[in-house]
Amino acid sequence: MTVAFQGETGAYSESAVRALYPGVRLLPQVSMEDVFAAVVGGRADRGIIPIENSLFGSVHVNYDLLLASEVRVVAEVHVRIRHHLLAVRGAGLSSITSVYSHPQALGQCQTYLRRRLPHAEAVPTYDTAGAARMVAWKGKQHYAAIASRHAASEYGLELLAEDIESHHQNYTRFLALAPSGSARPGALQARPHKISIAFALQTNVPGALFKSLATFVLRDLDLLKIESRPLVGSPGEYLFYLDIEGSLQDVPVARALEHLEELTALLKVLGSYPIGGTWDEPLHDS
């Protein structure tokens, strides 16, 4: 099995791959478009994409790619994002003059950096894994990177400080994609399932959003996510993202979706899959 993800070895996306599909062949890609293309084109059996972060919201560009692509969601996982300070063996806080990382990670660790490394220069990089790779390659004791524990292990770096992020409630939800045409699971598994859909309402139906939610609520189906997104260029029109507890094989779910189609101008079932757990890094990386 081959799984495509965006980023390089040691990226947080790779943790999502390892959590969902341990031991598979990894296919790192430069862009999200490349991940979708790898799945649709058959070069990868699965693709992993981030869909929302607990601090920075939903990734609309990936919802757009989900709507446009012949893929379906088959799994999800929430990855705890922990930032550590990495350096070569023998380095100490007092020797560090430059800290490399993605601007967002540098920002999330600003409080720590201001207090403990007030004179170090913060140097932006493309991604956290790339920062770790660069520090390892330079091999000097005055460089540090902010990245994951896995990146430290991958590039042979030591952890100078752990969990240096200001917001510890930092989780990214990743989705696993398969080609649309691939075999669906036959029997319903015991684990609770969810369905992800995206839809746009017919503009001439008064109270259409409320009615569209009623199709689920009145059938006692729980909503797990709801989000509206204004359609740029069409004032007053919205795209909605909904996650509902249940499986496509449940009769009330199928009825609710039929009912919803009466109200929507556009409706796509993005996938039906087991509700995912949370993945946190192991204390000792394998």
Integer Cα distance of 32 and 163 in angstroms: 28
Q: How far is the CB of 124 from a copy of itself (least distance, A)?
A: 5
Site map (CB under 8 A) of a copy of itself, residues 24-53, x = contact? -------x--------------------xx
Helix residue ranges per DSSP H, the chain: 12-20, 32-40, 60-68, 103-108, 110-116, 128-138, 149-154, 208-217, 251-261
Asked about 240 being catalytic, the answer comes back as no
Asked about 56 being catalytic, the answer comes back as no
- Does 214 help bind a copy of itself (rule: CB under 8 A)? yes
Please state the φ and ψ torsions of residue 205, each to the nearest 5 degrees: -100, 110
Give the bridge partners for 31, in sequence order: none
Q: How far is the CB of 158 from a copy of itself (least distance, A)?
A: 25
Integer Cα distance of 170 and 17 in angstroms: 18
Out of 36, 125, 128, 174, pick the active-site residue. 174
Question: Would you give the DSSP letter of residue 91?
Answer: -
Going 46 to 51 to 54 to 56, the CA torsion angle's sign is positive
Q: How far is the CB of 139 from a copy of itself (least distance, A)?
A: 21
Q: Which is nearer to a copy of itself, 128 or 247 (CB)?
A: 128
Site map (CB under 8 A) of a copy of itself, residues 221-250, x = contact? --x-xxxxxx-xx-----------------
User: Which residues contribute to the site for a copy of itself (CB under 8 A)?
Assistant: 31, 52-61, 102-103, 106-107, 110, 122, 124-127, 167, 169, 171, 207, 209-210, 213-214, 217, 223, 225-230, 232-233
- Point out the residues that are catalytic: 172, 174
